[in-house]
Structure 1
Amino acid sequence: MLELPLSNPHPTHARRRGRPSKAEQARRGDARPALIEAAHELMLLKNSIDVSVVDIANRLGQSAAVVQYHFDGKDGLLWAVLRRGTNRAVEQLTNLKTEDIPADQKLRYHIRGLLKAYYDAPYVNALMHHLSENSGPGGRDAVMMEFARPLVDFYEAVLAQGVREGIFRPVEPMFVYMMLIGASDYIFSRRSALPALFDVSDLTDAIRRDYTDFLTTSLLKAISV
């Protein structure tokens, strides 16, 4: 009599569920950089941070479980995406603050870098808001201290330097922060409205450069003695 097997004779062919095993992850390599890049690309494509874990994983031909394995869920991945878009900018900002150059030149360099950062990752402020509201107790403070406080520190130091140099009048750092961050965020996060309002099909690099010059001139005129 033919005996039927009581279990799958080829268990390695069974469909895996849940988290991938450590051995499988070692075989695949570290998927974190690729997942961060996939999330970044989808947010740019949709002009929104409302992207699903399934869509992100599918972009790499993997299951959604890989996001849970590497980042403990979607918000962990979003933190990594936010750091991808801000870590280098924060490092450059810290270095610029101590450079031996006039205060107005520091602001010119900073605004150029700020607009470039928003051009490359226009979803940054939306991510900060999402993580502030969804990171549990202390989440808002953690986000602000990591990503926004370095900007405030920079503005405080550079504005004070400009006053000492006799080129800036006393100005509240909060006003400069709101002006620059608000102006940088709005034009890129609302780019889908530009065709209807201004007959601009897309925000090109040339427009970014012109906007950078406009914003720089506007701020320096407002705070110069």
Structure 2
Amino acid sequence: MAPEPNRTRTKAPRTRRGRPSKVEQERRGDIREILLSAAHDAMIAKDSIDVSIHEIADRAGQSPAVVQYHFGGKEGLLHALLKRGTDRAVTQLADLAQMEMSADRKLRYHIRGLIKAYYEAPYVNMLMRHLSEGVPAEEGEAVFREFARPLADFYEVVIAQGVSEGTFRPISPPLFYMMLVGASDYIFARRRMLPALFAIPDMTDTLRQQYAEFLAEIVLTGIRP
């Protein structure tokens, strides 16, 4: 009986483990941004943060499992969306606080930027409340420290500067925070009331700019000596 010919075994390709390649990381990053943009668009369209993973995934052209994979679920996605919307604002606040300009000008620039931020993402405060409610107290506090504390700190610094320059009278930074954030949030969070109350069809960019200038003038006039 003739011996069997030698057979060369083909080794199965090894499964890549460890840190993903640069290409894989970039691909994952792109999908994360697509999902975040889809969540943003869904919330704008519904005028609510009450959107499902299925709605977000469908708008992004992905499966719900992809949301789970990249964010660990809807809460992780919402937290990432809030972070995306506030990271740039926090950086700008830090830069503005260090600029060589009067407190009056800093606050005016800030109010314009704040109104623009709420115009572009009117769901920010709703997301913050959602992520801080129904969780252990320390987790809720962590949300406010991460996303709201930088704004409160900025007001404390700029008000103190204005008082030292003689352009602002002494006022309470916490009360100022609640007043200004409330005035910035409400008009966009309740923009659907505009047609019924004022016959304004929609919140346009022109109206946004007009409101920013109006609010800045009212605020600055109110805190001057």
Q: Does 1:199 align with 2:199?
A: yes
Q: Deviations over 1:112-155 (max 9, x none)?
A: 00000000000000000000014444121111111110011101
Give the Å deviation of 1:29. Answer: 2.7
Residue equivalent to 1:147:
147
Residue equivalent to 2:223:
223
Counterpart mapping for 1:50-199 below 5 A? 50-199=50-199
Aligned partners of 1:179 and 1:140: how far apart in 2? 22
* RMSD across aligned positions (CA): 1.8
Q: Does 1:29 align with 2:27?
A: yes
Aligned partners of 1:134 and 1:35: how far apart in 2? 25
Residue equivalent to 1:18:
none
Aligned partners of 1:32 and 1:203: how far apart in 2? 29
Aligned partners of 1:28 and 1:136: how far apart in 2? 35
Q: TM-score, normalised by structure 1?
A: 0.86
Q: Deviations over 1:70-100 (max 9, x none)?
A: 1111000000110111110110001101111
Give the Å deviation of 1:105. Answer: 0.3
| Structure 1 portions without partners, runs of 5+ | 1-21
Aligned partners of 2:68 and 2:168: how far apart in 1? 50
Checking the alignment, whether the CA contact within 8 Å between 1:42 and 1:56 is kept in structure 2 is yes
Checking the alignment, whether the CA contact within 8 Å between 1:67 and 1:77 is kept in structure 2 is yes
Aligned partners of 2:192 and 2:92: how far apart in 1? 30
The structure 1 segments of at least 4 consecutive aligned residues displaced by more than 4 Å after TM superposition are none
Q: Deviations over 1:51-79 (max 9, x none)?
A: 00001111122210111111111000000
Aligned partners of 1:96 and 1:46: how far apart in 2? 34
Aligned partners of 2:203 and 2:125: how far apart in 1? 18
Say if 1:60 and 1:98 are closer, same or farther in 2 by CA, change over 3 A.
same
Q: Does 1:211 align with 2:207?
A: no
Q: Secondary structure at the match of 2:133?
A: helix
Give the Å deviation of 1:178. Answer: 1.0
| Structure 2 portions without partners, runs of 5+ | 1-19
Checking the alignment, whether the CA contact within 8 Å between 1:133 and 1:139 is kept in structure 2 is no
Q: Secondary structure at the match of 2:201?
A: coil
Residue equivalent to 1:48:
48
Q: TM-score, normalised by structure 2?
A: 0.86
Checking the alignment, whether the CA contact within 8 Å between 1:57 and 1:67 is kept in structure 2 is yes
